[in-house]
Structure 1
Amino acid sequence: MKKSVTALGMALACMLGTASPAGAQGVWMKGDLHLHSRHSQDSTNNAVGKIISFAESEGFDFLGITDHDNHVDGDTAHHTWADPQWRSDRIVLLYAAEWTTDRGHTNVFSAHPYDQKLLRRMSDERDIKLIGLRKAMGVHMSANHPTNKDHFGFSFDMVDSIEVWNSSNWAKNPPALTVWDDMLKSGRMIAGRGGSDSHHGWPDTPQDRSAKSDERLSNYVGTPTTWVYAKTRDRQGVVDALTQGHAAISANPKDPRVEFSVDLDGDGRDDGMMGDNLRGTGKPVSFRIHLAQCPIPWVQYRVRVIRDGEVFATVPVDASKGEATFTDTPPADKRAYYRLEVEGPQADYAAVPMSAGYSGTMVALSNPIYFNFNPAF
């Protein structure tokens, strides 16, 4: 297997965004897709208004406040969504909830109101019925923390994405990457996303201080941050981009956003980005790695290229340049996928000052670029 790695000399490129591949138009948006407010009974002093105000002050673009539905018998629409604080002129707020069942937890994201009670009533149904229900409801379903005690116990054919990075504590997440790779190797095009799973606000009360008084300092909005490349800056744009896998994850909103694209014909123009499914012809292609917004200019990041679940190459990327390429020959007669893992020092996220100590050296993840997958799978 031939490997070629070439650093590109684009000064300060890490500080800039990139043009979208193949002439597509869109905008990068950052947010958190797993959060709990006071409407979840296992949360303390985390009002909807507190969460939104914090996110606005830190420049986030979207939020999925995913309160547990078992505490309110699925009536999320009359709790989180109906909360008078659930509004913002600056942030896209998804209709969302955490479907909390005996077989595991699933986040639901939607651009429109939907019936969470119906999901609760069908929690014990066979997966084939639940797949049909998801399609009929027109919602995005995402498997939460698939390898912890509340592991996802449904068929992965039922979901559009997997939470591969849960909370600022990176050490508990590698098993989720194994599950993700297994699902990708099976031919499923399932996007990867992150979520802080934050439950607690400032330790303002004795109850907060006796529970998890330091969570607001170590794990809160944006640890990790999910980035989506959306065609429109609205609910539908966010949901569509996540479903398509036009998304990446960073440890916090100040860390680099990894962008991953491919040039199929050597003309120097991108023909696809992460999340896209392309045809392999048995000829070499050039892959491009771009790290946007690098806050530490002297850093050399280590980017692991994962091909079909195995490390294919490790590519150094200087923060001052922000780009690198590698070449490979995707097969013409079988499936293949490539994704990226980025390691280096954590950026300072002053609003959540203890988060860097938990994330270690894992800085960012990309979604895969696919070859020869069956999109109708």
Structure 2
Amino acid sequence: MPPVASLSEGVWLKGDLHVHSRHSKESSNNPESKIISFSLSVGMDYVCITDHDNHVNGDVANNTWADPEFRSDSLLLLLYGAEWTTTRGHGNVFSARPYDHQRLYDVRDQRDVVVGAIKKELGIHLSANHPSGKDHFGYSYDMVNSIEVWNSAIWSKNANAIMIWDDMLSSGRKLTGRGGSDAHHGSPETPDKATKNSYQAKANYVGTPTTWVFATSRTTQAVVDALTNGRVAVSANPFAPRVEFYADLNGDNKMDMMMGDNVRATGKPVKFRVQLSGKTVGDSTYTISVIKNGNPFGTLQTTGKQHIVEFTDTPETIGRTYYRVEVTGPSTPYPQVPGSMALSGNMVGLSNPIYFNFDPNF
């Protein structure tokens, strides 16, 4: 189990976990320098450039990572990764340090047990990308640490991914839900170079959506650890409110655990708190939908300048229980990617689950 940040000392970091540079063949006008400078301009803390490994025959280290533009000062953390692109679907690798991606690429057509063994030896975080549709993830979810439940600015296309996530959670898998813009195209340098792809960049680019992690510190390893631990929320863009989800186990009005955490149920009621942090849209109303074990549990609303709601429930003492939340409301402007607001609609953000009685080793 990776180190877990205390609720009082952890730090929230935001970034994008699925972006393609010019080292992906179908990408256009999106060099690494543009991705990095744009990420800094919108206040990102980290980014992972995930080029398709089949475009370089698995040799990511001498392409994406060896690019002289793959560098940043301490203001932006650069994760090491790539999109594992296979005939059975796609997955992203996230690592705090360079690893031998060629080994994972070479076993892409092997049995799951072989892939899983290599993944373990490499010490990497493997995530299922856009799990439904054309490039659905066709491997066992037992060998991945997370699943991309929000791919690109188009929230409506993720319904099946959310369904798969709930199915995996209901089966006892403590699987982190995360986002990724899957951006391939950068805006043109000058108006006369405008193309169809440049308009895509105005609707879907870095940060649509944004994945927040509650980390022990501002380091690449802490980002990966928090992602593995499920201390994760996803928002429509870098400026949208962050969804925070906590639980008070003993009724003393002090939060004891947060999303991603797992404890044994005691049979006593638990008070849950949902908080929207960051900038909200005026005195608008936000709707919090609570999902319990994959089913709608309740709907709450919050209006005003401080957006905090609470509810109480008693998790089962025998059998697993999980709770997670989704938040809808007014779209938060993202001036740098103006077209994204229409695509994300009224979806503001979501949390990872709080777990009870889950196997900590699964």
- TM-score, length-scaled by structure 1: 0.92
Alignment partners' CA distance in 2, 1:318 and 1:46: 40
2:242 to 246, 252, 257: 257
Q: Does 1:112 align with 2:66?
A: no
Unaligned runs of 5+ in 1: 1-19
Alignment partners' CA distance in 2, 1:49 and 1:319: 40
Alignment partners' CA distance in 1, 2:256 and 2:311: 15
Alignment partners' CA distance in 1, 2:5 and 2:248: 9
TM-aligned CA deviation for residue 318 of structure 1: 2.1
Question: What is aligned with 2:279?
Answer: 294
> What's the CA shift string for 1:165-184, capped at 9, x where partnerless?
00001110111000000000
2:181 to 196, 202, 209: 196
Question: What is aligned with 1:31?
Answer: 15
Alignment partners' CA distance in 2, 1:287 and 1:196: 30
Alignment partners' CA distance in 2, 1:109 and 1:96: 5
Question: What is aligned with 1:84?
Answer: 68
Alignment partners' CA distance in 1, 2:359 and 2:129: 25
Alignment partners' CA distance in 2, 1:78 and 1:204: 27
> What's the CA shift string for 1:87-121, capped at 9, x where partnerless?
11110000010000000000000011111111111
Q: 1:238 to 1:319 in 2, by over 3 A?
A: farther
Question: What is aligned with 2:335?
Answer: 350
TM-aligned CA deviation for residue 295 of structure 1: 2.9
The answer as to whether partners of 1:228 and 1:241 remain within 8 angstroms in 2 is: yes
> What's the CA shift string for 1:199-220, capped at 9, x where partnerless?
0001348997444230111000
TM-aligned CA deviation for residue 278 of structure 1: 1.1
The answer as to whether partners of 2:6 and 2:216 remain within 8 angstroms in 1 is: no
- SS for the counterpart of 2:26 is coil
TM-aligned CA deviation for residue 125 of structure 1: 1.2
2:145 to 160, 166, 174: 160
TM-aligned CA deviation for residue 319 of structure 1: 4.3
2:50 to 53, 66, 80: 66
Alignment partners' CA distance in 2, 1:173 and 1:24: 33
TM-aligned CA deviation for residue 62 of structure 1: 0.2
Write out aligned runs for 1:217-296 (5 A).
217-296=202-281
The answer as to whether partners of 1:31 and 1:227 remain within 8 angstroms in 2 is: yes
Q: 1:208 to 1:127 in 2, by over 3 A?
A: farther
- Structure with higher RCO (Cα < 8 A, 6+ apart): 1
Q: Does 1:333 align with 2:318?
A: yes
Mean CA deviation greater in 156-165 or 317-326: 317-326
- Aligned pair count reads 358
The answer as to whether partners of 1:203 and 1:214 remain within 8 angstroms in 2 is: no
Give the counterpart letter for 2:358 in structure 1. F
- SS for the counterpart of 1:94 is strand
The answer as to whether partners of 1:22 and 1:272 remain within 8 angstroms in 2 is: no
Alignment partners' CA distance in 2, 1:294 and 1:264: 29
1:143 to 112, 128, 132: 128
Alignment partners' CA distance in 1, 2:101 and 2:109: 14
Q: 1:237 to 1:186 in 2, by over 3 A?
A: same
TM-aligned CA deviation for residue 375 of structure 1: 1.1
Alignment partners' CA distance in 1, 2:322 and 2:169: 8
Alignment partners' CA distance in 2, 1:180 and 1:62: 24
TM-aligned CA deviation for residue 294 of structure 1: 2.9
- SS for the counterpart of 1:85 is coil
Give the counterpart letter for 1:45 in structure 2. N
TM-aligned CA deviation for residue 361 of structure 1: 0.8
Question: What is aligned with 2:28?
Answer: 44
Question: What is aligned with 1:17?
Answer: none
Q: Does 1:183 align with 2:152?
A: no
The answer as to whether partners of 1:44 and 1:208 remain within 8 angstroms in 2 is: no
Q: 1:118 to 1:350 in 2, by over 3 A?
A: same
Alignment partners' CA distance in 2, 1:346 and 1:325: 23
Alignment partners' CA distance in 2, 1:109 and 1:211: 30
TM-aligned CA deviation for residue 156 of structure 1: 0.4
Unaligned runs of 5+ in 2: none
Q: 1:285 to 1:122 in 2, by over 3 A?
A: same
TM-aligned CA deviation for residue 55 of structure 1: 0.6
Q: 1:206 to 1:320 in 2, by over 3 A?
A: closer
Question: What is aligned with 2:37?
Answer: 53
Question: What is aligned with 2:115?
Answer: 130
- SS for the counterpart of 2:289 is strand
Alignment partners' CA distance in 1, 2:63 and 2:315: 49
Give the counterpart letter for 1:170 in structure 2. W
Q: 1:115 to 1:22 in 2, by over 3 A?
A: closer
Please identify runs of 4+ aligned residues in structure 1 that moved more than 6 A.
205-208
Alignment partners' CA distance in 2, 1:30 and 1:317: 24
- SS for the counterpart of 2:283 is coil
Percent sequence identity over aligned pairs: 56
